C-alpha cells in the first residue's frame, strides 16, 4: 500500500470531516469512472473516501511496481 500527502483541503462527504494539506493518506485503489481517475484513500485518523488525483502530492505518489486487484488494469504510475 502506497502513501502520499494531501496538497489541498479535502472534505470527506460521508463524515463532513475536513482534511488539511500535508496530511498523510494511504492509497487503497485507483479506479476509472466516467473517464476520470479516482483514488480510494484511507485517512490517518481512520475512514475511507474517494478523492481526485489533483488532491494529492504527485511527487510522493509513485505506484510503479505496486499493483493490486483494483489498479491492475490501470497505469502503474499515477499520471495527471
> Per residue in 5-21, pLDDT tens?
999 999 988 889 999 99
CA distances to 5, 31, 44, 50, 54 from 22, rounded to whole Å, are 5, 23, 11, 17, 14
Across the range 20-48, mean pLDDT stands at: 91
* Res 73 pLDDT > 90: no
> Between residues 73 and 39, which one has the greater pLDDT?
39
Across the range 37-65, mean pLDDT stands at: 82
Q: Position of cell 511527487?
A: 59
> Between residues 53 and 68, which one has the greater pLDDT?
53
What CA–CA distance (Å, rounded) separates 36 from 74? 12
Domain positions in the chain are 2-60
Range 2-60 has CATH code 1.10.287? no
| pLDDT over 90 percentage in the chain | 49
Amino acid at each position: 500500500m502506497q502513501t502520499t500527502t494531501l496538497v489541498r483541503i479535502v472534505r470527506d462527504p460521508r463524515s463532513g470531516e475536513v482534511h488539511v494539506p500535508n496530511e498523510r493518506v494511504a492509497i487503497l485503489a485507483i479506479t476509472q469512472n466516467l473517464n476520470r481517475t479516482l483514488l480510494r484513500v484511507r485517512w490517518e485518523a481512520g475512514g475511507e473516501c474517494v478523492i481526485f488525483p489533483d488532491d494529492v502530492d504527485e511527487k510522493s505518489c509513485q505506484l510503479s511496481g505496486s499493483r493490486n486487484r483494483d489498479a491492475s488494469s490501470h497505469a502503474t504510475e499515477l499520471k495527471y
